[in-house]
Amino acid sequence: MSDNTVSPAVSPAAEPAANTSRRWPALVIGLCLVAGVAGGLGWFLNKPKAPPAELASDKLGMSRPDGLLETHSLSQLPKDLLAVPFLKETLTEDFVFYYEAHADRLGLIGSLRRIIYEHDLKLQDSLIEQLFDQPADVALWRGADGRLKDFLLVMDRGGLAKVLEPLAKVALGDTQLSKLAEIKVAGDVVPLYQLTYNNSKALLFASHGDKLVVLSNPAKLYEAGHGPVDEPGMVSTESLEALLGGQKLFPEAFGLQPRAPEVKQRLSVNSSVLAMGYQRFIPNFAGLRFDMDDKGWHSFLAMDELENQPDFDFKPIWQAMPMGASACVALPLAAEQQKPLLVKLGADDAVAQALTEHMAGAAGLCWYADSRLYTPLLVASLNDDDSAKLDGDLGNLFGSMVGAYEGKVAEHAFPVVEKQEGQTHQWQRQVSSNFGPYKAKDAEQPDAITGKAFMRVSLARHGSTLLFSLDDKLVDKALGTLDKRFPPLADVLPKDLLMPIYFGPDSMAQLMQQETLDSLPQDMEPVFYNAAQTYLIPKLRTLGGYGKYALTLPKGSEPDGHWQWLPLEWKAL
């Protein structure tokens, strides 16, 4: 286990073994999709119906984990993932070798072997392999960069309990191993040790009975009642004592029961990891979970109930989305509680109230290979067809939200271009951005563009459908879809099924290849560019060879309470 690397939780719903290879591709991008939808749906979503159950900081003596891995064998996890045909084809054995040869893992093993050798301890050289081949629970927290980094590991030592005892005897006479403090477990005094490795890194560990606890970041330990527990990764001495005493603290933080014996691997991810800081805008979504048993992998979606929970009906979204998407996510709307956010975005109270009252149904995001990863198409529903009276308010809100003072355009942003034709009303503003799809020289006033490129940000209302994108071409294509001049995504989707996620591997492979090569200019990054061409692009081609998939929830699904886990089904289209 490294302090900055985590085995990815990529695994879709299990089916019989014969069907597994057809259903696996969807999950590879599934975790990323919800992260993107968070920002786009920020306008619309509500707060939870009631406060969640007490946070981990209140009941567990630690900050709420962002991820949880529960395994029958830590060392078997990479191989269990590669047992899935799709992942084996795309990740290859290099995936396993990476974790086995990671610098932190090797540094830790090297430090322990040095201690064993120098102190003439009678321990087998396979000690580390035996340790990693035990049942374990691992809670994980994000670092400042958003990646899962700090961890707290609880392991069943089994027959290794006696084997590890000699390590404690050398703690006072070794430069890398030292006794840090003492904690009490069931009346016994248990020493807490610190092990340094790779020069600047360290971890804490303690053992009692058949339990071993390891904390990856010593700076995160605090005395119960004296620490900033709300900081990610904070762990109290009280929680260490509880874990060493056999209490299962982690599952409660994810609304789970303790792992059943038949479940060999269980990986749970909090929405905080996937929502990239926008979780307060998507309170319906609580997390994702992936279980592995003898039948394969199974997927689950955790939902939280909202007050005045709307029906889960995504059909209007798929009728408006143009065909050919790389990936899509849809979420239910919650109309209430939007007003404060809309006011912050520039709407007055009356406008915010009117917009809030007209939002209904669902909203969704789709990414397209002919656009960019950061310019998806947002589609939302209004609660009536006669929404023209909202157009003035929508235009004003668009003008206040989109654009900024351009450095070369005196003291104002570019003007909003407004168009109306039939039941379509559209607003568009040019915005300078080095990430825009249009080069500065192609603008009507090239000298007015700040930077190398620009976007044409677009908002449109077509009847009861609201469209938005940083890429105006996607909005135009969606308007063509609503006018029946372009086929909708709904034409290729399963009928009468509740589908929140769609995945088109061929189109997604094109999009990811474009984004990768665009971020690695050959003249500036020749080494990484060649590495991507050699290793990544062939994997993307393999990904593109799979068919399209729909991820569906059971009919009538609706969250009822907090952390309600709903099974996900994967349908090959």
12: Cβ contacts below 8 Å, ≥ 6 apart: 23, 24, 25, 26, 27, 30, 290, 297, 299, 551, 568, 570
Give pLDDT, residue 342: 74
Give pLDDT, residue 381: 86
* Alpha carbons 536 and 291: distance in angstroms, whole number: 27
pTM for the predicted model, two decimal places: 0.71
Give pLDDT, residue 174: 58
User: Based on C-alpha coordinates, what's the Rg of the chain?
Assistant: 26
Which residues, given as ranges, of the chain have pLDDT below 70?
1-60, 83-132, 157-176, 198, 224-230, 275-283, 307-311, 333-338, 346, 384-387, 407-411
User: What are the φ/ψ torsions at residue 310 (nearest 5 degrees)?
Assistant: -75, 160
Give pLDDT, residue 472: 95
* Alpha carbons 287 and 467: distance in angstroms, whole number: 27
* Alpha carbons 80 and 75: distance in angstroms, whole number: 9
Of the candidates 246, 99, 119, 231, which has an alpha carbon nearest to the alpha carbon of residue 186? Answer: 246
Give pLDDT, residue 163: 54
* Alpha carbons 350 and 352: distance in angstroms, whole number: 5
Give pLDDT, residue 470: 93
Give pLDDT, residue 112: 54
| Ranges of each domain in the chain | 54-254, 387-396+403-463
446: Cβ contacts below 8 Å, ≥ 6 apart: 440
Give pLDDT, residue 55: 44
| Paired tokens of 317 | 């979204």
